[in-house]
Amino acid sequence: MLGLGAAIDYVSAIGLARIETHNLSLRNRLFAALTNVPKLRVVSAAPGPLASPLLTYALPAGIESGPFHERLREKHSVEVKVVPSNWLNGNRISTHLFNTEQDVDALVTALKAELA
CATH assignment at residue 94:
3.90.1150.10
Q: How far is CA 98 from the centre of its chain?
A: 12
Domain hosting 97: range is 16-115
For residues 50, 51, 52 and 56, what is the CA-based torsion angle, rounded to 10 degrees? 120
Is residue 28 a part of any domain in this protein? yes
SS3 41: strand
Is the pLDDT at 7 greater than 80? The verdict is yes
Task: Please state, rounded to an integer, the average pLDDT across all residues of the chain.
Answer: 95
Distance CA 88, CA 105 (A): 24
Is residue 6 a part of any domain in this protein? no
Domain count, the chain: 1
Distance CA 112, CA 47 (A): 22
Beta strand pairing call for 54-58 and 81-83? unpaired
Q: What is the pLDDT of residue 21?
A: 96
Q: What is the pLDDT of residues 25-58, one digit of tens each?
A: 999 999 999 998 989 999 999 999 999 999 999 9
Is the pLDDT at 100 greater than 80? The verdict is yes
**Phi, psi angles (nearest 5°) of residue 109:** -60, -45
Is the pLDDT at 85 greater than 90? The verdict is no
SS3 55: strand
Is the pLDDT at 1 greater than 80? The verdict is no
